[in-house]
Structure 1
């Protein structure tokens, strides 16, 4: 291991990024150094790359970004006892304090002192990354790399779906981005009744159908509130998972929701959203914010779904790039004509990618 490595850096507070030589990070007494094998681009990374209002308010620069990965432990701190060199791991991306009231009451995922891996702390779009030993998630030896690196966003989907009763319920997923697509698969795996997928992108709507959606709605054609009620016998969906962050879609979803519906919000709006509070109050709608994964309940639920083959999200991975071709990768993500886009890091072979090379949707580019 040299003293420097290639890292994709958000160097200045404007659109774009820079691939450059940066120092290999040093570990503290409670941290581990990971050789990154595979990483993937998230919607949050798109916010950072494009540099929108959310990024301006949230992201620290300069910083190596990226937070979805799988890799091999290269070194451990002298106070680390739960991780060994050679372990195959991923990691929880929220670095929390452990002592605030949220952390001490089972709500560490909303710790007010959170630092976020790849957002306000150095991330994984590099050869090596450092994570807290307490955040390490050990992967089963037979879990393919391409699935292991998707656990962070999959955890968001699991958290959103399982934040309330789901069995037998009608569910609308607003926004068929990657976490929305995962939510469709998770909802079906967890016993949802009818699942409705909503988007304006025909490519993504077709992917939604492949992930198990019973109904697809293109809300650039159909008024969303009307369509939601039409496909639920006039009642509206009992559960709405808002993954788009689109203000108009959220307003329409509330109008179209069932009485006493649960509306879980994960999409990040670009600005403030004005809602008709009378709809929420008199329909008895429960609004809730979803951020990250419940630490570590969501991870246990997710492992149960993955390890017992109740859930298959391998079809979501459609393209891979080397880190050197990051501009093409982000351009493809921007187009919306892809599923999950992965970066293959040094010494990662097709053989190691397991199921990926057998996936008909997969394209090496």
Structure 2
């Protein structure tokens, strides 16, 4: 009879989730079994929990969801050589085919055959998770689990910030949820010039200021575009990092971008977005980056370099901790926006 574990399952294709017992997953010869010690809620998990249009078209159910975690290896498959029992690890959550053109040309993060940890295959909101050995990310044993589990979203921010030139540039981070807050920290750590943080949430704007934003803008109080123009010699921000996914914010981000600037799009819109392509992209000569996950594996080495050399202090970002069984309170808090990063501490 299978051993059982507690897990948070997206069981039905609608709002919410179920905390229940499920079998501890089996691991194959090229896989490892990890005891999860900490996991964190991503904006993607909120999309799944709320069950919006994106989730309906993407997410497999029933499924253990969650994809940001840190833990300790409990068992390894017969063919595993790079991981041993007791290692402290996280995971690169894009499980790619390794044989398609994208994978073989250094672009595995956009593999068309990707299976996504916690989205289309079982994830980490559970006592145990199974991951492929070649997807393992080793963590230093002295790094607290609640901080090590933040590397997945940090990687999103690192890829967005460093997808182009950043040193000395004016940077506008639109949407300072957890990844937007991380983007503020990365931009400052990597030598950006003036960093603007834009949101409609005063709690997170205050947190962005504590994390290094030079100026915060509540876009409810006036024109985001005019405010940025006013503080950039009427040129616009040289780098726009769009983290909100809100249609109006995306449109305003393109309008606020400086000519020949760069726009990185990470926020997931819940519906199609229309805007003036000719005026705000073509005639401006903008460079646009779609950001999904982390570049495999260069982004991981970049963020390890930042963390290991103390260029960033992630503990400032963690504002709330819960046991997994209090998931309803944790997700309600995330949806309220009155938090930084929310972490589940697994027993």
Q: TM-score range by the shorter chain?
A: over 0.9
Instruction: Report 1:289-304 matches (<5 A).
Output: 289-304=290-305
Gaps of 5+ in 1: 347-365
CA distance in 2, matches of 1:235, 1:120: 43
2:307 corresponds to = 306
- Aligned-partner Cα distance in 1 for 2:161–2:147: 19
Report how many aligned residue pairs link the two structures: 346
Structure 1 runs (4+) deviating above 6 angstroms are none
Distance 1:230 1:293 in 2: 34
Distance 1:253 1:320 in 2: 33
Deviation at 1:274, TM superposition (A): 0.9
2:211 paired residue number: 211
Q: Distance in 2 between matches of 1:229 and 1:284?
A: 18
Q: Deviations over 1:274-318 (max 9, x none)?
A: 121112111101111000000000000000000010111211101
1:55 corresponds in structure 2 to: 55
Give me the whole-angstrom Cα distance separating, in 1, the residues matched to 2:228 and 2:152: 29
SS at match of 2:7: strand
Residue matched to 1:112: 112
How far 1:257 sits from its partner (Å)?
Answer: 1.1
Task: Provide the rounded CA distance (Å) in 2 between the counterparts of 1:341 and 1:207.
Answer: 14
1:280 aligns to 2:301 (yes or no): no
Cα drift, residue 140 of structure 1:
1.1
Q: Where does residue 157 of structure 2 map in the other structure?
A: 157
Q: In structure 1, the residue corresponding to 2:35 is in which secondary structure?
A: strand
**1:174 corresponds to 2:182:** no
Between the aligned partners of 1:232 and 1:339, the Cα distance in structure 2 is 28
TM-score w.r.t. length of structure 2: 0.99
Alpha-carbon distance in 2 for matches of 1:4, 1:145: 23
* Correspondence 1:256 to 2:246: no
2:323 maps to 1:322: yes
Post-superposition CA distance 1:4-47 (Å, at most 9, x none): 00010000100000001100000011110000000111100000
Q: Residue 271 of structure 1 aligns to a residue in which SS?
A: coil
- Show the counterpart of 2:77: 77
Deviations 1:304-357 (A, max 9, x none): 0000101112111011111111111111111111111111111xxxxxxxxxxx
Partner of 2:87: 87
Residue 191 (str. 1) matches residue 191 (str. 2): yes
Q: Identify unmatched segments of 5+ residues in structure 2.
A: none
- SS of equivalent residue, structure 1 residue 6: strand
1:339-354 equivalence runs, <5 A: 339-346=340-347
Matches within 5 A, 1:2-81: 3-81=3-81
CA contact (8 A) 2:146 2:345 kept: no
Pairwise CA distance, 1:224: 1.2
Q: SS of 2:36's equivalent?
A: strand
User: How far is 1:93 from its partner?
Assistant: 0.4
Secondary structure of 2:37's match? strand
Match of 1:337 in 2: 338
